[in-house]
């Protein structure tokens, strides 16, 4: 009987989820079918209960009718009570037990119960007492549900960055955890909506998990992840009525080709909760979406104007700058010498050094790839100006410096240029391959790139070394903190790889592989944190494939294929 009840409940839930997947994939027939199955199932359940109740009354079995009514109420009420009473009131214990009753008979009922309890705790600031109570409920290893619980608690503490990082990390778990993923998807979509990160929101909605959530992190799935299978698998982040609405709003704001029509967007709005709160947003999206084409066609003009006015401004100020009083070259090469403002403001063409300094200033102001490449090329041009070195040597003698002071000053100048531009590249996270492509033959740019690459690698190695040292000393920290550490390493690695390109990733991977391999072994064998270990292994396998490290591919492929106990 219990199994039958469980089967009915699961069928209904599955039908509802399938309906949302079909809806998001624009498969109208499938959506209607699954919606009809879910609706008919619910109607059948209510009709059966009502029929039983009426039948009992009809035959005069009032006691039985009361029992039927009580059972029906116990089956129907706890879920809504938990979500609409206990959670808003911050009663985590009540929320937990109501969901446990609601999910009676279902294996793993404590998973949704812990999630709902965490939401209740988060409503009142994730108190230490509630956090400890929830921690006591956790049995065994860290999985996707526990990660979502910790993310919700982080949200309650007001730590949005931590919540975002933990929710996002759910994508990497080899654990289907539909409830946890659904919550995470909704939280991330709402967070994106608050930040105006519509592109991220829409992109997340399009991600697929092949062959399915959880299984998408197997080595085979990772190996074939890039194969063209547009409709295969299932959405990595399950849709809810709210995420579906926000994805529609995002698509309209971004002017996507497959953005929903006005009617479709209003329909999504009707289906989603918090209609009063989203009314203005939907109206804004519709207003913007209608004029997207016009705005896009006009947008070029203002941006060109901005750019031109800035250029003009810098050129003008460059030629009339008071500092020209500090710069009147003695030779055509333009080294420092006796100067007056009038001399610098005259009609003579700018020297190579002056051009390089202007380009350098422009690069520091703009921080764009184009500006940095132009500055590097301008500095390269000064190096091929023989008059500059001679004039600097003369000036060194005039200042009473050592005989080689001129040469050393030129070396020092190079160092400072490289330092300033490498810092700029780091601060603006400018991609090195794109920079190289802009000025392929630039010697200075090559030196700047080397410096920037070294900085990136050093930072990444420091982050990895901390994990390596801890593993070596077998110094455990809480599993959720181990996950946070991994998230930090992965972020540092991905940022470095994005900035440094494939060349840097090939240099970085062996170190990351060496440090993290022992960590995954320790997590699996000693700490029994199988999901966490698998998550890191799958990522290492992915990166090994990207850099083509055959040995690492074989090793992590074999480790990643080991079945996770109890999954």
Partner 1 sequence: MSAAEGGGGGGARGGGLRGNPFFVLELPVTAGPREVEREAARLLGMLELGLAAAATYQTPLGPMPRRAEDVRTAAAALREPKRRLVAELWASGGVAAAAAPTTAAEGAQTGAATGAGAAAGGGDVRWPGALKATGWGPR
Residues 251-270 that bind partner 1 (CB under 8 A): 253-254
Establish if 216 lies at the interface with partner 1 (CB under 8 A).
no
Q: Is the dihedral of CA 401, 406, 407, 409 positive or negative?
A: positive
DSSP state of 260: P
Among residues 6 and 495, whose Cβ is nearest to partner 1? 495
Q: Which of 423, 461, 495, 503 touches partner 1 (CB under 8 A)? A: 423
Based on CB atoms, which residue is closest to partner 1, 15 or 201?
201
Exposure string over 123-132, b if 16+ CB within 10 A, otherwise e:
beebbeebbe
Distance CA 451, CA 372 (A): 14
Our finding on whether 336 is near partner 1 (CB under 8 A) is yes
For position 338 contacting partner 1 by CB under 8 A, the verdict is yes
Whether residue 468 has a cis bond before it, omega within 30° of 0: no
138 contact partners, CB below 8 Å, separation of at least 6: 114, 146, 149
Contacting residue, 78, 219, 329, 500, with partner 1 by CB under 8 A: 329
Whether the CA torsion 248, 253, 258, 263 is positive or negative: it is: positive
Q: Rounded to an integer, what distance in angstroms lies between the CA atom of residue 204 and that of residue 141?
A: 27
For partner 1, the binding residue among 97, 314, 527, 547 (CB under 8 A) is 314
Q: Which is nearer to partner 1, 423 or 503 (CB)?
A: 423
**Identity of the residue, 62 or 195, whose beta carbon is nearer to partner 1 in the bound complex:** 195
| CA dist., res. 348 & res. 463, Å (int) | 53
What's 350's DSSP letter?
A: P
Told to check if 119 binds partner 1 by CB under 8 A, we report yes
Burial 506-533, CB ≥16 within 10 A → b, else e:
ebbbebbbebbbebbebbbeebebbbbb
Nearer to partner 1, 167 or 524 (CB): 167
**Helix 352-366 vs helix 292-320: angle between axes, to the nearest 10 degrees?**
140
Query: What x-and-dash track marks residues 46-75 binding partner 1 by CB under 8 A?
Result: ------------------------------
- Shortest reach from residue 173's CB to partner 1, in Å: 22
How does 227-260 read in b/e, with b if 16+ C-beta sit within 10 Å?
A: eeeeeebbbbbbbbbbbbbbbbbbbbbbebeebb
Q: Please give the distance of CA 174 from its chain centroid, rounded to a whole number.
A: 18
Q: Which stretch binds partner 1 (CB under 8 A): 140-148, 335-343, 471-479, 517-525?
A: 335-343
Which listed range, 100-108, 361-369, 457-465, 533-541, lies at the site for partner 1 (CB under 8 A)? 361-369
The only residue of 140, 196, 502, 548 in contact with partner 1, by rule CB under 8 A:
196
In terms of Cβ atoms closer than 10 Å to its own Cβ (0-12, 13-18, 19+), residue 355 is buried
Interface with partner 1 includes 87 (CB under 8 A)?
yes
Of the candidates 42, 129, 262, 415, which one interacts with partner 1 according to CB under 8 A?
A: 415
Interface pattern 269-288 for partner 1 (x via CB under 8 A): ----xx--xx--x--xx--x
The residues, ordered by sequence, that sit 6+ positions from 10 with a Cβ below 8 Å of its Cβ are 106
Q: Which of residues 447-476 bind partner 1 (CB under 8 A)?
A: 451
29 vs 338, beta carbon nearer partner 1: 338
Q: In this complex, which beta carbon is closest to partner 1, that of residue 119 or of residue 141?
A: 119
CB 532 within 8 A of CB 141: yes
Q: From the list 215, 401, 447, 507, which residue makes contact with partner 1 (rule: CB under 8 A)?
A: 401
Q: Select 420 or 461, whichever has its Cβ closest to partner 1.
A: 420
Site for partner 1 in 167-186 (CB under 8 A): 186
**Is the Cβ of residue 90 or residue 501 nearer to partner 1 in the bound state?**
90
Would you say 262 or 469 has its CB closer to partner 1? Answer: 262
Among 167, 198, 493, 509, binds partner 1 (CB under 8 A): 198
Residue 94 binds partner 1 (CB under 8 A): no
Asked if 357 interacts with partner 1 (CB under 8 A), we say: yes
Nearer to partner 1, 66 or 399 (CB): 399
Choice between 45 and 413, CB closer to partner 1: 413
Secondary element (H or E) of residue 208: strand 208-209
Phi, psi of 349 (to 5 degrees): -70, 150
Q: Which of residues 131-150 bind partner 1 (CB under 8 A)?
A: none
Specify the stretch interacting with partner 1 by CB under 8 A; choose among 52-60, 99-107, 356-364, 536-544. 356-364
The answer to whether 422 contacts partner 1 (rule: CB under 8 A) is yes
* Helix (H), strand (E) at residue 235: strand 234-235
Instruction: Tell me the CB-side half-sphere exposure of residue 498, using CA atoms within 13 A.
Output: 10
Least Cβ distance, residue 404 to partner 1 (angstroms): 9
Nearer to partner 1, 57 or 203 (CB): 203
Q: Work out how close the CB of 503 gets to partner 1 at its nearest, in angstroms, rounded to a whole number.
A: 21
Instruction: Give the length of the chain.
Output: 567
| Contacting residue, 11, 291, 299, 525, with partner 1 by CB under 8 A | 299
Q: Please enumerate, as own/partner, the contacts of 412-421 that have beta carbons within 8 Å and a separation of 24 or more.
A: 414/444, 414/447, 417/360, 417/379, 417/444, 418/444, 418/447, 418/448, 418/451, 419/451, 420/360, 420/364, 421/360, 421/363, 421/372, 421/375, 421/376, 421/448
Question: CB of 464: closest distance to partner 1 in angstroms?
Answer: 22
Scanning residues 220 to 249, which ones bind partner 1 (CB under 8 A)? Answer: 242
Which residues are bridge partners to 235 per DSSP?
208
**Among residues 106, 428, 470, 511, which is the contact residue for partner 1, using CB under 8 A?**
428
Among 366, 505, 515, 549, which residue sits at the site for partner 1 (rule: CB under 8 A)?
366
Number of residues that bind partner 1 (CB under 8 A): 102
User: Which residue, among 11, 7, 15, 13, has the nearest Cα to 32 in the 3D structure?
Assistant: 15
């Amino acid at each position: 009987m219990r199994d039958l009840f469980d089967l009915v409940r699961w069928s209904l839930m599955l039908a509802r989820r399938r309906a949302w997947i079909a809806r998001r994939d624009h498969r109208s027939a499938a959506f209607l079918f699954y919606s009809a199955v879910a609706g008919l199932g619910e109607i059948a359940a209510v009709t059966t209960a009502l029929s039983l109740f009426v039948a009992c009354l009809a035959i005069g079995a009032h006691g039985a009718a009361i029992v039927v009514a009580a059972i029906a109420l116990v089956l129907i009420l706890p879920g809504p009570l938990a979500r609409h009473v206990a959670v808003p009131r911050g009663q985590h214990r009540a929320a937990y037990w109501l969901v446990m009753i609601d999910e009676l008979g279902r294996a793993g009922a404590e998973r949704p119960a812990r999630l709902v309890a965490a939401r209740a705790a988060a409503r009142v600031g994730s108190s230490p007492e509630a956090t400890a109570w929830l921690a006591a409920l956790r049995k065994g290893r860290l999985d996707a549900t526990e990660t979502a619980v910790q993310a919700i608690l982080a949200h309650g503490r007001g730590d949005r960055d931590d919540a975002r990082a933990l929710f996002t990390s759910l994508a990497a778990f080899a654990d289907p955890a539909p409830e946890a993923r659904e919550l995470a998807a909704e939280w991330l979509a709402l967070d994106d909506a608050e930040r105006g990160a519509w592109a991220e929101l829409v992109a997340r909605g399009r991600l697929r998990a092949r062959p399915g959530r959880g299984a998408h992190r197997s080595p085979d799935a990772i190996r074939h992840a890039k194969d063209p299978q547009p409709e295969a698998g299932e959405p990595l982040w399950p849709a809810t009525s709210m995420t579906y609405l926000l994805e529609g709003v995002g698509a309209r704001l971004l002017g996507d080709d497959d953005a929903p029509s006005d009617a479709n967007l209003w329909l999504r709005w009707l289906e989603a909760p918090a209609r009063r709160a989203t009314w203005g947003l939907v109206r804004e999206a519709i207003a913007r979406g209608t004029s997207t084409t016009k705005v896009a066609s006009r947008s070029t003009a203002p941006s060109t104007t901005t750019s031109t006015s800035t250029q003009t401004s810098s050129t003008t100020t460059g030629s009339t700058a008071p500092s020209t009083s500090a710069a009147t070259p003695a030779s055509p090469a333009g080294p420092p010498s006796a100067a007056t403002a009038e001399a610098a403001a005259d009609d003579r063409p700018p020297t190579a050094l002056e051009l390089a300094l202007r380009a350098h200033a422009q690069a520091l102001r703009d921080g764009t790839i184009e500006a940095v490449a132009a500055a590097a090329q301008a500095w390269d041009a000064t190096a091929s100006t023989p008059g500059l070195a001679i004039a600097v040597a003369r000036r060194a003698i005039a200042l009473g410096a050592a005989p080689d002071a001129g040469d050393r000053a030129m070396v020092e100048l190079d160092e400072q240029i490289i330092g300033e531009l490498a810092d700029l590249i780091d601060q603006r996270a400018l991609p090195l391959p794109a920079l190289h492509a802009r000025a392929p033959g630039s010697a200075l740019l090559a030196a700047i790139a080397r410096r920037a690459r070294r900085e990136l690698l050093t930072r990444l190695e420091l982050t990895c070394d901390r994990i390596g040292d801890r593993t070596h000393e077998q110094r455990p920290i809480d599993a959720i903190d181990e996950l946070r550490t991994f998230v930090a390493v992965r972020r540092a690695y991905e940022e470095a790889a994005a900035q440094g390109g494939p060349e840097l990733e090939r240099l970085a991977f062996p170190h990351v592989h060496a440090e993290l391999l022992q960590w995954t072994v320790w997590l699996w064998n000693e700490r029994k944190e199988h999901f966490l270990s698998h998550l890191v292994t799958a990522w290492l396998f992915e990166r090994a494939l990207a850099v083509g490290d055959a040995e690492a591919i074989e090793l992590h492929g074999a480790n990643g294929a080991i079945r996770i106990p109890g999954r």
